[in-house]
Structures are given as structure tokens and as C-alpha cells.
Amino acid sequence: MTKNSFHEQYGSVALITGASSGIGWAFAEELAERGFDLVLAARRTERLEELATKLEATHGTRTQVCQSDLSQPDAPAKLLAETAGSDIGLVVSNAGFNIRGYFEQTDPAQMAEMLTVNCHAPMQLTHGFLPRLKARGKGGLIFTSSVEGLIGCPFSTAYSATKALVVGLGEGLWGELQGTGVDVLTLCPGATESEATAKYAEQYAAVPNMQPAAEVARLALDNIAEGPVFVPNAHYRAQFDQLTALPRQQALTAMAAGIKATL
């Protein structure tokens, strides 16, 4: 698909949640390069303003900055109201965070917040945006999940469970939306350069087979019509293909032993 045809199918405005860093920031840069105007949503508006200024200077991108704390249950409804006048053709539901370590040592309030950001927000945003996309007769939805959503992952159990919901949401919608002109892709990255992986490396150990966020975003957009699920990192694609093909007990035992050694 050429840049012009991509813009014709999914343009002219894209919404990105979690746009203040990592994969979200990379999606913004890649979409600006492809000629999109953007709605940028995140908690840290100073980071969004910095990004908006950069993209306007480099690409002439018009941006709408939305302060949005998706840990608040009413945040999706507010974001839908703020964008009511925008002809958004591509929704990138990217905001999320993870918690790692022993499950029983995890703060239950933090788990509840993660559930709201990782699960409630994409479900409610999609529910609101989908009628708009179907009325257009073309467009796209991208959900950022994780390879850890493909199998229950020991020592990131709660996070893995939230990302499994995202995989299920994306796969179900992919099936429902056949013939509507609306494409759905669930992106399942492995280790990706971000603030989160940097913090993990500081706390636990260096993360191998890291993929640049810009590469993840570019590959996701290049493969948006090839859903329902896309794993952009070849190493993790092979690893999780192998894990999910094993008997579950064997796969989980091996994963638990390998991860426990790094904690």
C-alpha cells in the first residue's frame, strides 16, 4: 500500500492514546510522516505539546492535544466528546502499563488501575468510535497488546491477563467488521525501547532482543490490513509460536523458571 492509498483508507486524522512516549510517540511520528493530522492523548500534556511542536515544524502536522488520564473510568467518554468534531479514520489504542513480580506482592490498587487503563479504556473507546468508523465505510483500529497476552506469563500475571483481554477484543472485532471497510489489528510487541523497559532493566536485568519503537510502529501500520494479530519482533514471534505450541504445563513451567532467575 502506497502512502497515498494508506492515507485515503485511514486518513485524514488519527487518534493515538498513550502518545507521550514509547510506541505511542513513534506512532505519532510515523503517521505525521504519512501526512496525517493527529489527536494526541495522554496524561503528560507537556510531552504532547513538545511532540506537537516537533511534528508541526517537521511535517506541518495539525494536532489536537487532549489531556487524558485513562486510569479514570470517565476518561474515554471525555475523549469521545472532545473529538466529536474530528473526522478520525484511525484509532490507535496504545495507552497501557505493566506490573511485574510475584502476584501476591502486587499492590491491589495498582492492579485495579492497570485493569482500567489496559482493558476498560480500549473497550469503551472502541465502543464510542466504532459507529463513526462504520459510518465512514473505511478506517482502522489498532490495539497495542503484548506477546504476553498470547499466553499467561508467570511473574507478570495480572499484566498478561489484561493484555489477553485486548487480544480477545481485537480478534472478535476483526471477525465482526469483515466487509465494513474497517480494519482491525492487534499489535503484540515483544521487548521494545521505552521508558517502561528502561525501568525494568534498572530494577531487574537488561532486556535482550529489544526492538526500536519506531520500527514497531512502522511495521504495525504496514500490516494493519493483515490482522487479526501481528507480532512485529521476529525473535519473539518465533519464541511465542514455540511456547504456545507446547503443552501448557510444559510451557508455563519453562517460562516460570526462566523469569524467576532474573528476579
Of 23, 236, 196, 169, give the one whose Cα is nearest residue 98: 196
Alpha carbons within 13 angstroms on the beta-carbon side of residue 260 total 9
The yes-or-no answer on residue 159 being catalytic is yes
Owner of C-alpha cell 508455563: 252
Q: Which of the following is catalytic: 10, 102, 159, 204? A: 159
Strand arrangement of the beta sheet that strand 37-42 belongs to: 63-67, 37-42, 13-17, 88-93, 139-144, 182-187, 229-230
How many angstroms separate the Cα of 72 from the Cα of each of 39, 68, 87, 117, 255? 19, 9, 25, 8, 33
Coil, strand, or helix at residue 40? strand
What CA–CA distance (Å, rounded) separates 214 from 204? 25
Annotated active-site positions, please? 159
